[in-house]
Amino acid sequence: MRPLAAFSLTLVACLAGPAVAADLSITLRGQSGAPIQDAAVLRAAAVAPPTAGAALIDQIDKRFEPSVSLVRTGTAITFPNKDNIRHHVYSFSSAKTCELKLYSGVPAEPVVFDQAGLIVLGCNIHDGMLAYVYVVDTPLARLSDAAGIARIPAIAAGQYQLEVWHPRLPAPAILNAGLAIGTTALSFEQVLTLEPDPQTPPPLE
């Protein structure tokens, strides 16, 4: 499994404010200095209504593809079952508890994710099928890339709550409850302490 690191950075929005946009760039690193990828960085969504978006998480060769998704609340995610074998997709995440039996040659109904949160999907039948779905209620959310950089462009000026979500963070980490976004681009680094990854053995130091 790819090291999945997702930070979410929530910007606390200060509602009142000029519509000046600035970019926010955050580099996330782990304790050892390694970049954290696929963290969802977002600002808390207070105003944005759920969109009726659509997303897709396919099952290819007994794997979820993509393994990390970032969607707005209200998104309906379909599971095409490309590999056309039986899967029993499930999630126990509090944001969405569901079971979806996919049978070969039988299309399934999409599943609407209407609550914000980090949802972990698995397959009861197959080992190693794991997908993370960040359901966010703000458009101001991005995943960090391989370099650990998450860039949220064109943020209107104001005060935001910056949050980072990651599967190995026990709870969303609020990095900054009141981050002032001005007109200038903001860029900083953040070191996060993640739970150890059970897939990789701990470093020998």
Partner 1 sequence: MLLTVPMGTALAACASVRPAPASLYGQLGGAPMLEAISARLIDGFAISPDGSRAFDRVKLPRVKRGLEAFLCVLANGPCAYDGDDMQRIHAGLRISEREFNALVEHLRQTLDALGVDPGAKHELLRRLAPMRRDIVTATATHSLAPRG
Partner 2 sequence: MTVATRTLRSRFVLVFFGLALIVTTVGLSVVKLAIERNARQQLAEELSTSERVFRRILADGTQQLEQAAAVLAADFAFRAAVATGDRETIVSALANHGERIHADLMMMVDRAGRITASTSSHMPAGTDFPQAALFERARAAGRTTGLVVSDEHLYQTVLVPVKAPHTIGWVAMSFLIDDRMAQELSELTSTELAFVFKIADGDWRIVGATRHGVARATLLTHLRDPALLNGTPLALGADLLLASDLGAASDLAVAVLRVPLASALEPFAPLQRFLFGLALSALVATVAGSALIARGVTRPLSQLADVARVIASGDYSREATIECDDEVGALARAINAMREGIASRESTIMDLAYRDPLTGLPNRALFIDRAEQALASSARRGGTTGLLLLGVDNFRYVTHTLGHRFGERLLCELAQRLTGMLPRRADTLARISGEQFAILLDGASVVDASTLATRILQGLETPFRIDEQIVDLGSSIGIVDFPAHGSDVHTLLQHAELALSVARRARCDLAVYEPGFDQSPERLSLLGELRQAVENDQLVLFYQPKLDLNTGEPTYVEALVRWQHPERGFIPPDKFIPFAEQTGYIRVLTQWVLQAALRQCVTWQRAGINLRMCVNISARDLLNPDLPQVIQTLLDELTLDPALIWLEITESAIMEDPVRTQQVINALDAMGLRLSIDDFGTGYSSLAYLKRLPVDELKIDQAFVLTMDRDPDDATIVRSTIELGHNLGLKVVAEGVDNPRALEMLIAWGCDIAQGFHICRPLPPDKLESWLASEDCRRFRHPAPARLSA
Number of residues that bind partner 2 (CB under 8 A): 19
Nearest in space to 9 (alpha carbons), one of 144, 119, 135, 118? 144
Separation between Cα atoms, residue 16 and residue 144, nearest integer Å: 28
Among 126, 174, 177, 186, binds partner 1 (CB under 8 A): 126
178-197 residues near partner 2, rule: CB under 8 A: 195-196
Interactions with partner 2, residue window 7-66 (CB under 8 A): none
Q: Are 78 and 110 in contact (CB under 8 A)?
A: yes
Which contacts qualify for 53-58: CB closer than 8 Å, 24 or more apart? Answer: 54/78, 54/110, 56/80, 57/121, 57/131, 57/133, 58/82
Residues 88-127 binding partner 2 (CB under 8 A) are 90, 92-94, 97, 120-124
105 vs 202, which CB is nearer to partner 1? 105
> Binding partner of residue 80 among partner 2, partner 1, none, CB under 5 to 8 Å per kind?
none
122-161: contacts with partner 2 (CB under 8 A): 122-124, 129-130
Nearer to partner 2, 132 or 160 (CB): 132
H or E segment and range at residue 17 = none
Q: Min. distance of Cβ 79 from partner 1 in angstroms?
A: 14
